[in-house]
Amino acid sequence: MADIDPSGLPVHVAIIPDGNGRWAKNRSLNRIEGHVRGTANVKDTVIFAKELGIKVITIYAFSDENWSRPKEEVDALMHLLQEYLIQERPNIMKNNIRLCTLGDIERLPLFVLEELKKTMELSATNTEMILNFAVSYGSRNEILRATQTIAKLCIEKKCIPEKIDQALFSKYLYTKDLPDPDLLIRTSGEMRISNFLLWQMAYTELYVTDTLWPDFNKEEFLKAIRSYQHRERRFGLTHEQLDEF
Ligand code: FPP
């Protein structure tokens, strides 16, 4: 880790952990086995991110679209999430991590929702790192939900259309209290955003690796951070303008 600059770490890392199914298929295993290994890797990655000094990590655990997967797979993912929460709660507390969620969590089965709420409440005052699980999450729905809320406020005369700017709109997204992601990591080689944090990723640095999620280990994480640290983030400005700051 000697070549990692601690002062240049991304504050917020977002992850699309893709490739569990392919990992299993490559080994002639059931897709669910891939998700089991994928979940184990979420555990390791979260703790490693915290040790590294990352302040916010957002993991796309289950999308709006994933509800349409075969029932057996949806059920397995829900049980894995429940197990994760029960098993990892002590570790989350020991590491001073705060668990939050993005998404329509009320759609989740009660057995998951209860564990999620319990962990969120218990960890609410933890300060070392925020762990966001995007579950039952889709960015287009998030944006529509914000739009509907603001439209209602306008009808109730609590807001006027001219006052709707980027800062106000951001306040009605699930990510309202968070900085935008600095780095997005997507595993398994797909060059897509897949309805994840569309608004928030306007200036996020993208890192795609062919490595499948269950194989994405500490060294792979460090590779992503190294790549990030070699980027020049211009936010629409020129290189020369950046030099002036
Ligand atoms: C993508 O692999 C992964 C998902 C759709 C679910 C992500 C879930 C986990 C990493 C495990 C559960 C998470 C937690 C937080 C307990 P895929 O099935 O699309 O893989 P494929 O593209 O190779 O088929």
pLDDT, tens digit (0-9, with 9 covering 90-100), for 17-33? 999 999 999 999 999 99
- Express each pLDDT in 72-117 by its tens digit: 999 999 999 999 999 999 999 999 999 999 999 999 999 999 999 9
Residue 47, domain member (yes or no): yes
Q: Is residue 120 part of a domain?
A: yes
Does residue 133 line the site of ligand 1, with CB under 6 A? Answer: yes
CB 59 within 8 A of CB 104: no
Tell me whether residue 148 is in a domain.
no
**Structure-block tokens of residue 79:** 């049980």
Active-site residue identified among 18, 20, 64, 182: 18
Q: Residue 193 sits in a domain of what CATH number?
A: 3.40.1180.10
Q: Does the pLDDT at position 244 exceed 80? A: no
Q: How far apart are CA 188 and CA 194, in angstroms?
A: 13
Q: pLDDT band at 232, cuts 50/70/90?
A: confident
Closest C-alpha among 200, 137, 148, 146 to residue 173: 146
Mutate to test the pocket of ligand 1, among 15, 16, 20, 45 (most ligand atoms within 8 A of CB): 20
Closest residue CA from atom 5 of ligand 1: 62
% of residues, the chain, pLDDT over 90: 93
| CB contact burial 13-23 (16+ within 10 A = b; e otherwise) | bbbbbbbbbbb
Calculate how far, in angstroms, residue 153's C-alpha sits from the geometric centre of ligand 1: 37
User: Is 65 part of any domain?
Assistant: yes
* Annotation marks residue 18 as catalytic: yes
Is residue 112 in some structural domain?
Answer: yes
pLDDT of residue 149: 98
**How does residue 236 score in pLDDT terms, banded at 50, 70 and 90?**
confident
Element (H, E) at 82: helix 71-94
Residue 108 maps to a domain: yes
- Asked if residue 234 has pLDDT above 90, the reply is no
Q: Single out the catalytic residue among 66, 141, 195, 217.
A: 66
- With 70 as the cut, is the pLDDT of residue 155 above it? yes
User: Does the CB atom of residue 17 touch ligand 1 within 6 A?
Assistant: yes
Establish if 211 belongs to a structural domain: yes
> Is residue 67 one of the residues assigned to a domain?
yes
Distance CA 122, CA 91 (A): 12
Q: Looking at the 3D structure of the chain, how many domains does it have?
A: 1
245 versus 168: which is more confidently predicted? Answer: 168
| Domain containing residue 194 | 9-138+179-234
Residue 2 in this model has a pLDDT that exceeds 70:
no
Give residue 198 CA to ligand 1 midpoint distance, Å.
19
Residue nearest to atom 8 of ligand 1 (CA): 61
Nearest CA to ligand 1 atom 16: 81
User: Of all atoms in ligand 1, which is nearest to the CA of residue 23?
Assistant: 23
- Flag whether the pTM goes above 0.75: yes
